[in-house]
Amino acid sequence: MNEWSLITESPEATMELAEKLGEIVKPGDVITLEGDLGAGKTSFTKGLAKGLGVKRVVKSPTFTIIKEYNGRIPLYHMDVYRMEDDTEDLGLEEYFYGEGVSVIEWPSMILAQLPEDRMIISLLHMGETSRKITIYSTGARSSELVKELSL
Ligand code: ADP
Ligand code: MG
């Protein structure tokens, strides 16, 4: 497992990192975002969307679990915070193995359904405008992505 950490000192710095990731992701890539409320998961997703060339404003999917955005490749943004249990059959596999990149906030409810090879991004609140971002890979493809992102 590859691991890479850095500290960002502003929301813009977090979004820039995410934008770089958005420029290099490929169809079928799965990224999970972990961290408390206000850690920056949605901000990260906004930056990633920008890197994909998404023109629409990305907002957290409040009334739906999944929102799809059109970019260079589709972005499937999921926020499973509201999900009650992991037995709900949402057909998530269609997204994970689909034509786009999946970004999942609060993945803990659906861990069993996630592909084994994925990029895990943890955001930790350090101060008002500083966040420690740790990026892990769990397989060959995600290792490649972490390497490319950290260059
Ligand atoms: P989450 O989706 O994890 O609940 P959000 O992205 O909605 O978090 O909110 C994060 C908040 O923290 C935003 O208001 C953002 O401007 C602020 N913030 C301050 N510093 C940072 C930073 N270094 N990285 C990301 N967000 C930051
Ligand atoms: Mg959020």
Q: Within 13 Å, how many C-alpha atoms sit on residue 109's CB side?
A: 18
By most ligand atoms within 8 Å of CB, the mutation choice from 19, 41, 43 for ligand 1 is 43
The per-residue pLDDT of the chain, averaged, comes to 92
Q: Which 3 state secondary structure label does DSSP give 148?
A: helix
So what's the pLDDT on residue 86?
54
Running DSSP on this structure, what letter comes out for residue 45?
H
What confidence tens digit (pLDDT) does each residue in 69-84 have? 999 999 999 987 766 6
So what's the pLDDT on residue 91?
83
User: Is the pLDDT assigned to residue 147 strictly greater than 70?
Assistant: yes
Mean pLDDT within 115-137: 97
Proximal ligand: closest to the CA of 33: 1
Between the alpha carbon of residue 42 and those of residues 34, 46, 104, 108, the distances in Å are: 11, 6, 10, 16
Residue 78 in contact with residue 109, Cβ under 8 Å? Answer: no
Q: Give the pocket of ligand 1 (CB within 6 Å).
A: 8, 10-11, 13-14, 35, 37-43, 105, 129-131
Return the structure tokens found at 147.
Answer: 């390497």
What confidence tens digit (pLDDT) does each residue in 12-68 have? 999 999 999 999 999 999 999 999 999 999 999 999 999 999 999 998 766 678 899
User: Is the pLDDT assigned to residue 95 strictly greater than 90?
Assistant: yes
So what's the pLDDT on residue 2?
81
So what's the pLDDT on residue 85?
60
**Percent of the chain's residues with pLDDT above 90:** 77
So what's the pLDDT on residue 82?
63
- The domains found in the chain, sorted by start residue, are 3-83+91-150 (3.40.50.300)
